[in-house]
Amino acid sequence: MQRFIERLKELGELRVIDEATDVYLEIAHIAYAEIKKENGGQALLFTKPTRGDRLYKTPVLANLYGSQKRVKAIFGRDVEEVASRVSKLLAGDHPTTFRGKLAKALELFKLRKCFPARSNRRGKSQEIVKLNEQGKLSDLPILTTWKGDGGAFITMGQVYTRSLDGKAHNLGMYRLQVFDDQTLGLHWQIHKDSSHFFNEYEAAGVPMPVSVVIGGDPLYTWCATAPLPRGIFELLLYGFIRGKKAKLVKCLTNNLYVPSDADFVIEGFVENPKERMIEGEFGDHTGYYTLKEPYPFMRIKAITSKRDPIFLATVVGKPPIEDKYMGYPTERIFLPLFKTSCPELIDYKMPENGVFHNLILAKLRVSYAGHALQAMHAFWGVGQMSFVKHAIFVGIDAPDLGDYSALLKHCLDRFSPDRLLISQGVLDALDHSSPQALLGGKLGADFTGEKLEKTIDILSDQELFKKVKAALPEALALKQYGIDSANPIVLLQIRKTRPAKELAIALKPLKKYLSIVAVLDEKNNDVENAYMSVWRISNNIDVARDLIIDDLVFLDATSKSELDGFTREWPKDVDCDRETIEKLRKKGLWSYNREFERRFQL
């Protein structure tokens, strides 16, 4: 990590902040705004982190992964090059020439470097050792990101676990709430590998070893986010990309192995797997707070570190955030793997304002009727793809998946309600829109067909708003998108006073002018802001409830309440604290105008 910081300086990708900045809100707010700059801004090194009057000796590094340039530097090569290697390995070809066979054999021989090397000697990550009560979480500059958070959270922790029989190992990334100096919450959701391991320990009634690593080679942290199949240790991917074995050392108080060059290692156990603590709330990467829930927790037995460690942190909230850039190599590298279960897949993209699991775009080579439907079911059956809520499929004639304007027109020219598949399946634990936790509606849209003719009359936004306002007095603002297509989308902001079905019925007389209507709440929305509207809609709808098809297609993307028969708690938006912004402005660390704040709904 220390060497990589020097590399960032050479690349002009690091901004050093020597002013005293508080780990309570201030550092997080600065980093949250920085990532929203063009091309992701710079990595930020805070040399004087404080908590109140306390000054920490350990610097805080944030926004490390927040640009394509930094990601390339972390990987040490183009991500596409790594994806190409994966594709070649998975290819089912059998070379016939001696040269071809030799090349294949050499490629396979290189895989020996994927397997981590374990040592019982101490590593640099164990230069400083604090055992039991000497190891205090309060000695680490752990951020409190949002005013509504339940406390301070470690947000870039690499969580190392292993199965009860010791045969399988896992590296994951989960948020970790600080309850006290020796207690960390473990927010591993029910579908995650560590949670599956935990179930084994809970059934056996024995303590579970857990170690949390912070820092070290920046590639470790990305590997912790990689959606590998269950049972495959993520550090194999590290060895594949680096071309060398990850060097691991044994923890001092449990039987886990962790990187020898880590900046910090927090060792411990889930001592009683049947116990839970209430974890949360936390302003998460969905842009909403996730609510309080019971989760396991670990008791800390040791904190070890380098002599001069760096504390790595990230800030999550409304897009764009660091996962925009961390997600790019995931898309590229795992494309060949997805093709093994969906061979007709040409490319896919998970837009960051669709919060990744809420929206996926896929390009297919379609060969027969129903081919796209078949691909939808294949996607929803593949690992973490099973959590995707909304999937849009286009054919080989579609524009590049990253050309959103052209892609929008292409899709709307092929839109028809009978090309929609409404299904039900598992959802990410962070989803808040479904009536039931972890299970809800899924939407597949097949836009691989022929272009359709326009069937509605196009009015100006002003003319159309007058008609809509007359039919729907709750209407506050209106904006049309894709008016040069066969089926424009109308974004409609309303003051909601009645259920969605009544709103849809009220608009039916205007079917001559309307094809697709999506309604947004009065508060914190702007129909002129397409980027944040996509974020809001993909978060807020459960299609089994919120998609109404009756002459026109109506999507209710408003917040849900008892008015809608919604009995779960609806979470708050993640928002910056205005008092903190003003403090930072006085320090000269916040120069963003109100237009910037509105654009990203800070």
**What are the pLDDT digits (tens) for 22-54?**
999 999 999 999 999 999 999 999 999 999 999
Buried b vs exposed e over 208-237: b needs ≥16 C-beta within 10 Å?
bbbbbbbbbbbbbbbbbbbebeeeebbbbb
pLDDT band at 322 (very low <50, low <70, confident <90, very high): very high
In the predicted structure, residue 111 carries a pLDDT above the cut 90: no
Asked whether residue 335 is domain-assigned, the answer is: yes
Q: How many CB atoms lie within 10 A of CB 134?
A: 10
pLDDT band at 474 (very low <50, low <70, confident <90, very high): very high
User: Taking Cα atoms as reference points, which of 309, 388, 378, 316 lies closest to residue 342?
Assistant: 378
Q: How many CB atoms lie within 10 A of CB 422?
A: 12
Q: Which amino acid is at 333?
A: I
In the predicted structure, residue 257 carries a pLDDT above the cut 80: yes
Q: How far is CA 224 from the centre of its chain?
A: 13
Q: Are residues 478 and 442 in the same domain?
A: no
Q: Are residues 202 and 296 in the same domain?
A: yes
In the sheet that 439-447 helps form, which strands lie side by side, from edge to edge? 345-349, 359-364, 390-394, 439-447, 420-426
pLDDT band at 356 (very low <50, low <70, confident <90, very high): confident
**What are the pLDDT digits (tens) for 516-537?**
999 999 999 999 999 999 999 9
Q: How far apart are CA 127 and CA 2, in angstroms?
A: 15
Q: Are residues 327 and 193 in the same domain?
A: no
Q: Are residues 209 and 236 in the same domain?
A: yes
Q: Are residues 190 and 329 in the same domain?
A: no
Asked whether residue 49 is domain-assigned, the answer is: no
Q: Are residues 193 and 334 in the same domain?
A: no
The total number of structural domains that make up the chain:
3
Contacts of 580 (CB under 8 A, 6+ apart): 25, 26, 29, 147
Strand positions, DSSP E, 369-506: 390-394, 420-426, 439-447, 475-481, 489-494
Q: How far apart are CA 102 and CA 87, in angstroms?
A: 18
Percentage above 90 pLDDT, the chain = 90
Q: How far is CA 315 from the centre of its chain?
A: 11
Q: What DSSP line would sit under 524-568, residue for residue?
A: T--TT-HHHHHHHHHHH--HHHHEEEESEEEEE-SPP-GGGT--S
Asked whether residue 61 is domain-assigned, the answer is: no
**257-259 and 183-185: which strand pairing?**
unpaired
**Residue 384 Cα distances to 111, 371, 425, angstroms:** 25, 22, 12
Asked whether residue 71 is domain-assigned, the answer is: no
pLDDT band at 191 (very low <50, low <70, confident <90, very high): confident
Q: How far apart are CA 602 and CA 594, in angstroms?
A: 9
Asked whether residue 202 is domain-assigned, the answer is: yes
Peptide bond into 281 cis (omega under 30): yes
**359-364 and 345-349: which strand pairing?**
antiparallel
Place of tokens 């870039």: 156
pLDDT for the residue numbered 101:
60
pLDDT for the residue numbered 406:
97
Averaged over 141-146, what is the pLDDT? 98
User: Do residues 296 and 279 lie in contact, with contact meaning Cβ atoms separated by under 8 Å?
Assistant: no
User: Domain boundary residue among 277, 304, 331?
Assistant: 304
* pLDDT top residue among 100 and 385: 385
pLDDT for the residue numbered 49:
98
Q: Are residues 170 and 269 in the same domain?
A: yes
Q: Which amino acid is at 9?
A: K
Q: Are residues 167 and 136 in the same domain?
A: yes
Q: Are residues 183 and 273 in the same domain?
A: yes
Contacts of 6 (CB under 8 A, 6+ apart): none
CATH number at residue 92: 2.30.110.10
* CA diameter of the chain: 77
User: Do residues 355 and 427 lie in contact, with contact meaning Cβ atoms separated by under 8 Å?
Assistant: no
Structural domain span for residue 194: 81-304
Question: What's the chain's average pLDDT?
Answer: 95
Q: Are residues 265 and 356 in the same domain?
A: no
Q: Are residues 391 and 471 in the same domain?
A: no
Percentage above 70 pLDDT, the chain = 97
Q: How far is CA 212 from the centre of its chain?
A: 20
Q: How far apart are CA 261 and CA 158, in angstroms?
A: 13
pLDDT band at 587 (very low <50, low <70, confident <90, very high): very high
Averaged over 391-406, what is the pLDDT? 97
Q: Are residues 497 and 408 in the same domain?
A: no
pLDDT for the residue numbered 209:
98
Eight-class DSSP state of 431: -
User: Domain boundary residue among 397, 424, 447?
Assistant: 447
* Counts of helices then strands in the chain (DSSP H, E): 17, 33
CATH number at residue 401: 3.40.1670.10
Asked whether residue 332 is domain-assigned, the answer is: yes
Asked whether residue 592 is domain-assigned, the answer is: no
Burial label, 325 (beta-carbon count in 10 A; 0-12, 13-18, 19+): buried
* pLDDT top residue among 479 and 88: 479
Q: How far apart are CA 339 and CA 214, in angstroms?
A: 33
In the predicted structure, residue 206 carries a pLDDT above the cut 60: yes
pLDDT for the residue numbered 122:
96
Asked whether residue 59 is domain-assigned, the answer is: no
Q: How many CA atoms lie within 13 A of 301 on its CB side?
A: 17
pLDDT for the residue numbered 307:
97
Q: How far apart are CA 386 and CA 379, in angstroms?
A: 7
Coil, strand, or helix at residue 501?
helix
Angle at 544 between CA 543 and CA 548, to 5 degrees: 70
User: Domain boundary residue among 304, 336, 351?
Assistant: 304
pLDDT band at 103 (very low <50, low <70, confident <90, very high): low
